[in-house]
C-alpha cells in the first residue's frame, strides 16, 4: 500500500469515459455565448453563469485590450506587496458606490474571497452558523477557520434559531449563507436571518455570487431584493458570473474590511487579479448600471423556461432564479438524460452527490439575458422528448 493506491483504485471517471457518458471537462472552442462550439459541433449553452451575457460585449472586450496595452498580462505579485494597480483601486471605489457600502476589497477569485473572509474573522472562540447547502467555498472557509462551525437545516429558520439560542452566550457569532443557492436556485430567506441575527447578537455574511447583477432593483443582490441592505453586515460577490470576468469581492464597514485586508491569507499570499480581468469587471459594471433592460430580459427568459418545465411535469424544486434544476433523483438516469441532451446539441450540467444530497441528482440549467426565443424553443422540445422517453415526465 502507498499514497497513490487511492488514485489507482479510482476508476469511475475512466469507466465513464470508456463507456461514452463522461460529462465533465468538455473543452469549448468558442466564446461564452448562448451557443458554443465543442469538437466542431454547435451546442446551445444552458449551463453557464454568464447571466447578463456580457463576455462578448464590445465595451468589455475593448476595455480588456486597453488594459493589456497599458499594464501588460499580469501583476506578478499579491495585492499586499507589488500586485496592487490603480486599476484595482478604481474597481473597489466603483463597487463602494454601487454596493452603497463604506469599503470593498477585491480578491483573485470568489472562492478565495470566502476562504479569506471566513478564516480571518471566525477565531478560536467564535461560532459560524452555516446553511447545510452552502457553497463549497464557504464550507472550505469554515474548515480553515479556528472557530467552530454549526450547521443548520437548509433554509430552516426554526433550526437556525434553535442553534443560535443554545449558543446565545457566545459573543462572536457569524451567520453565513448563499444569497442564491447555486444548485437549487432558491433565494436565501434573508429577511428572517437578519431578524434572528439582531435577536441573538450575531453578524451576517451573504455570499451573493449568483445574486449580484440578478436580484434587486439595481442588481445589488439579495439584500436589495428584500430591502434589508442596512441590516446585512458583509456581502460577498464574484466577477465570474454577471461581471463576465474572474475575481471576487467583499463589501462592508471600513474597519472590518481593513482587518480582512491585513489578515486574509488567500489575499496576502495570492497573486492579484490580472489587469484584463479588472478592466473587464469595470466595463461590465458600467453596463450593469446603465442597461437595466438586460436584467429585465434575463427575468423574461427565466420565467419562460421555469414555467415551461413545470407545465411539462419536471421537478424544478424551489428555484426562484435563472438557476433552474431539473431534479431526476437517480444518478444513472441523470447521466442518461445528460447524454441525450448532449447528442442533441445542448450543453447542461449533470450534478450528483455530494454536490447535492443523495437521491437529488439533477440537471443544472441556467440562463442568460441573451438567449434567443428559437434557442429556448429548441431546448424545451428536446427536454420534453427526452423526459418522456426516460419516463421522467408523463
CB 206 within 8 A of CB 221: yes
Is residue 315 domain-shared with residue 197, that is, in the same domain? no
Same domain, 279 and 201: yes
Query: How large is the average pLDDT for residues 210-227?
Result: 98
Please indicate, yes or no, whether residues 360 and 340 belong to a single structural domain of this protein.
yes
Q: What is the pLDDT of residues 359-369, one digit of tens each?
A: 899 999 999 99
Q: Considering its fold, how many domains does the chain have in total?
A: 2
Same domain, 385 and 263: no
CATH number at residue 258: 3.40.640.10
- Greatest Cα-to-Cα distance within the chain, rounded to the nearest angstrom: 61
Q: What cell does 155 get?
A: 433554509
Residues with catalytic function: 182, 210, 241
Sign of CA dihedral 364, 295, 192, 257: positive
Q: Give the integer Cα–Cα distance in Å for 330 and 73.
A: 45
Q: Is the peptide bond before 354 cis (omega within 30 degrees of 0)?
A: yes
Q: Is residue 12 domain-shared with residue 74, that is, in the same domain?
A: no
- Residue at a domain's end among 226, 255, 290: 290
Name the pairing type of β-strands 323-329 and 361-366. antiparallel
Q: What is the pLDDT of residues 317-328, one digit of tens each?
A: 999 999 999 999
Tens-place pLDDT, residues 255-265: 999 999 999 99
Question: pTM surpassing 0.85?
Answer: yes
Chosen domain end from 274, 290, 306 = 290
- CA atoms of 182 and 139, how far apart (whole Å): 14
Domain presence at residue 394: no
Residues 145 and 264 in one domain: yes
Amino acid at each position: 500500500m502507498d499514497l497513490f493506491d487511492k488514485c489507482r483504485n479510482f476508476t469511475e471517471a475512466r469507466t465513464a469515459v470508456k463507456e461514452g457518458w463522461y460529462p465533465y471537462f468538455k473543452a469549448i472552442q468558442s466564446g461564452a455565448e448562448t451557443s458554443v462550439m465543442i469538437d466542431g459541433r454547435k451546442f446551445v449553452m444552458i449551463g453557464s453563469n454568464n447571466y447578463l451575457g456580457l463576455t462578448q460585449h464590445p465595451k468589455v472586450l475593448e476595455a480588456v485590450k486597453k488594459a493589456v496595452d497599458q499594464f501588460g498580462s499580469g501583476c506578478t505579485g499579491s495585492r499586499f506587496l507589488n500586485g496592487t494597480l490603480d486599476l484595482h483601486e478604481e474597481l473597489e471605489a466603483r463597487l463602494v458606490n454601487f454596493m452603497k457600502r463604506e469599503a470593498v476589497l477585491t480578491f483573485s477569485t470568489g472562492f478565495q474571497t470566502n476562504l479569506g473572509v471566513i478564516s480571518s474573522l471566525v477565531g478560536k472562540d467564535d461560532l459560524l452558523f452555516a446553511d447545510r447547502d452552502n457553497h463549497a467555498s464557504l464550507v472550505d472557509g469554515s474548515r480553515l477557520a479556528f472557530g467552530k462551525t454549526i450547521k443548520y437545516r437548509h433554509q430552516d429558520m426554526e433550526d437556525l434559531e434553535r442553534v443560535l439560542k443554545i449558543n446565545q452566550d457566545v459573543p462572536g457569532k457569524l451567520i453565513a449563507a448563499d444569497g442564491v443557492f447555486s444548485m437549487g436556485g432558491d433565494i436565501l430567506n434573508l429577511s428572517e436571518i437578519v431578524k434572528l441575527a439582531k435577536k441573538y447578537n450575531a453578524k451576517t455574511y451573504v455570499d451573493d455570487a449568483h445574486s449580484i447583477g440578478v436580484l434587486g432593483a439595481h442588481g445589488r443582490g439579495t439584500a436589495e431584493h428584500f430591502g434589508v441592505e442596512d441590516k446585512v453586515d458583509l456581502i460577498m460577490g464574484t466577477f465570474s458570473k454577471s461581471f463576465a470576468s474572474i475575481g471576487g469581492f467583499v463589501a462592508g464597514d471600513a474597519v472590518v474590511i481593513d482587518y480582512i485586508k491585513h489578515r486574509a491569507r488567500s489575499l496576502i499570499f495570492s497573486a492579484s487579479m490580472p489587469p484584463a480581468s479588472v478592466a473587464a469587471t469595470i466595463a461590465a459594471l458600467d453596463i450593469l448600471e446603465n442597461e437595466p433592460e438586460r436584467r429585465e430580459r434575463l427575468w423574461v427568459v427565466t420565467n419562460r423556461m421555469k414555467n415551461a418545465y413545470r407545465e411539462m411535469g419536471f421537478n424544478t424544486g424551489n428555484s426562484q432564479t435563472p438557476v433552474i434544476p431539473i431534479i431526476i433523483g437517480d444518478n444513472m438516469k441523470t447521466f442518461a438524460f445528460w447524454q441525450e441532451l448532449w447528442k442533441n446539441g445542448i450543453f447542461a450540467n449533470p450534478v450528483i452527490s455530494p454536490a447535492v444530497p443523495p437521491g437529488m441528482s439533477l440537471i443544472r440549467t441556467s440562463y442568460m439575458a441573451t438567449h434567443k426565443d428559437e434557442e429556448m424553443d429548441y431546448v424545451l422540445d428536446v427536454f420534453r422528448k427526452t423526459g418522456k422517453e426516460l419516463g421522467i415526465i408523463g
